A and B are shown apart, each in its own frame.
Chain A
Amino acid sequence: MDISLLLQFFINGCMLGMMYALVAVGFTLFFGVLDVIVFSHGDSVMVGAFAGLTFYLLGVYAVPGLPVWASAFFVFLAGMAFVAGAGMLISRFVIMPLRAAPALNTLLATMMLGTVMREAVRLFFPDGSNPKPFPRLLPDWSWKFGDVLLRFDNLALFVAGCLLIVGVAMLINHTRLGMAIRAVAQDAEAAQIMGVNFPLIVLATFAIGSAVAAFAGLMNGLYYNEINFNLGLLLGAIGFSSAVIGGLGNVYGAILGGFVFAFLQVVGTVAMPFSSAYKDVFAFGVVIVLMAIFPTGILSERQSQRV
């Protein structure tokens, strides 16, 4: 196999990995503070993409001739804010009431919620059951290195994704809010006793995680130039897998997991060129094997059980 094709695969892998990592960060954050898997998170990604599209159309309609940079900025900001709000509503009305329920109930409830979101977009978004073209918000510059094509928008998205992840990490590790989130993640009860406003922290965490998910959704739209109501299911499963591979509750693990999953898909594509559809069979198969070898993830979750 020639080197330029490999490089192209590498670039694709990086883009996918960034997207998965962004989704996985949400899963792992929510699990950290509340010990729940919010499976509708994948559909938050989808809602983010659709919200972005809607805001773009609204923006074009309201302010014709808006410069490209401004509209891209506006779409990202509005989409992320919208999904952050939705995430807060979800945490307030679905997740918090189920705190005392068995883990399975929460998992199923959020899956059902995901279906509600998915179906709502399919049924109520104009012509929602068909794929929608996603606008090109970024200039389509590209550079050619031999046979390798490096697109400017990919590079910009990748850099922005990195910045977002670094931002989230800074927020969690170096701010008062982040300290409160970490405190709740370690011991919600003790944190409350020490004066941490637990419901507020949960809301904040959901806002952050959901905004990051919306970014991933917009990135997905820009990368594939197309979105559909169904994209959240697979992205949710992949994000969940990545978070689990990295060890739930561990932000760096989630990022690692995202890139590992993307890497697996790329390897699947390279190893089985006869049908690229097998790449998911391969990737999920490896996830199952990984789970058998590392039952609590590669960067293992801290385990404590009181008997």
Chain B
Amino acid sequence: MNKVLFSCEGLTMKFGGLTALNRLDLGIDEGDILGLVGPNGSGKTTFFNVVTGIYRPTEGRVFFDGKDITGASSQTVFEAGIARTFQRSRLCLELSIFDNIMIGNFKRHDLGFVSNIFRRKTFQKTCEEEVEKAIELIRLLNPELVGSIHKPVADLSMIDRRRIEICRALIGKPKLLFLDEPSAGMTHDETNQLMDEILAMKSDERQLTIVLIEHEMGIIGKVTTRCAVLNFGEKLCDGTYQSIVENPLVQEAYLGREVTEDEV
């Protein structure tokens, strides 16, 4: 039995009259890949935003790695070991690939005045080491990008941008990785390719836990070890891919309910 890495209890988020998340209970074991599915507006991204400190939850508690991180700031959540990507790519387009990846690495950087401004020799050395590390990581996803590591991200294609976003999330060695619909805006083939890369990466890093938001059920079935289905901010069910696909509640949420005779 794996240890529970992340859990939330009764997590609720209300925007005025709209309840985006309603008493959500969820537990994630270490090493899992959890697929988070649900129709548009069912609260998947809100869940990420509440956990990563962009919104403060209205009610409920969030625990991570034995600590209570309810309502913690984005910074604290990241330092505790949760990294994420965004649904709409939020890279710094005018900055280079290396810069973007380094943004995910501030935890390990010395941001002090003296070491950055005065000890330039030492700074230069750490910088070169960091370039090596970044290259290593990029090579896992797309070796072709290594050559243009100092070029602006704005020149890259969508799939390469996603890759850089994943690199940025991974370089800080998080324990839990939130991937918010990494396939948005990509073709079917590109999505499959990216998922294979994610799986390959995961096999290197067994301890890494991933939560993946994804619309395409085929991908969910292929990649995830467990799934949770949200609808109108509530959890319909969770379990293995097979169990949720067969669950009539899920079918209803996605396909609509069959009209019974007495309603007619």
Contact = CB atoms under 8 A, between A and B. Distances in A.
Establish whether A and B are touching in the complex (CB under 8 Å). Answer: yes
B54 interface: yes
Contacts of A307: 45, 49, 54, 86-87
Nearest 6 pairs between A and B by C-beta? A307-B49, A307-B54, A307-B86, A307-B45, A307-B87, A306-B88
A8 to B, nearest CB: 45
B40 to A, nearest CB: 13
A192 B54 CA distance: 31
A307 B87 CA distance: 7
Contacts of B86: 307
6 contacts: A306-B88, A307-B45, A307-B49, A307-B54, A307-B86, A307-B87
A293 B141 CA distance: 47
Contacts of A306: 88
Contacts of B88: 306
Binding site of A, secondary structure by majority: helix, strand, loop or mixed? loop
B27 to A, nearest CB: 24
Nearest to A306: B88
Interface string A287-307: 000000000000000000011
Contacts, number: 6
Contacts of B54: 307
Interface string B39-68: 000000100010000100000000000000
Main DSSP-derived SS at the B contact region? loop
A306 B87 CA distance: 10
A89 B49 CA distance: 43
Contacts of B87: 307
Interface string A215-256: 000000000000000000000000000000000000000000
A306 to B, nearest CB: 8
A103 B45 CA distance: 27
B257 to A, nearest CB: 29
A307 B20 CA distance: 14
B75 to A, nearest CB: 16
A306 B45 CA distance: 10
A307 B45 CA distance: 8
Contacts of B45: 307
Nearest to A305: B54
Nearest to B48: A307
A307 B49 CA distance: 8
A31 to B, nearest CB: 22
B17 to A, nearest CB: 14
Interface string A10-43: 0000000000000000000000000000000000
A306 B15 CA distance: 13
Interface string B119-143: 0000000000000000000000000
A262 B47 CA distance: 46
A307 B54 CA distance: 9
A153 B49 CA distance: 57
Nearest to B87: A307
A306 B86 CA distance: 11
Nearest to B84: A307
Nearest to B90: A307
Nearest to B45: A307
A164 B87 CA distance: 46
A198 B49 CA distance: 33
Interface in B122-175: none
Interface in B52-98: 54, 86-88
B85 to A, nearest CB: 11
Contacts of B49: 307
A307 B86 CA distance: 7
A189 B234 CA distance: 30
A196 B45 CA distance: 31
A15 B87 CA distance: 51
Nearest to B180: A307
A203 B191 CA distance: 44
Interface in A261-307: 306-307
B109 to A, nearest CB: 25
A307 B88 CA distance: 7
A301 to B, nearest CB: 15
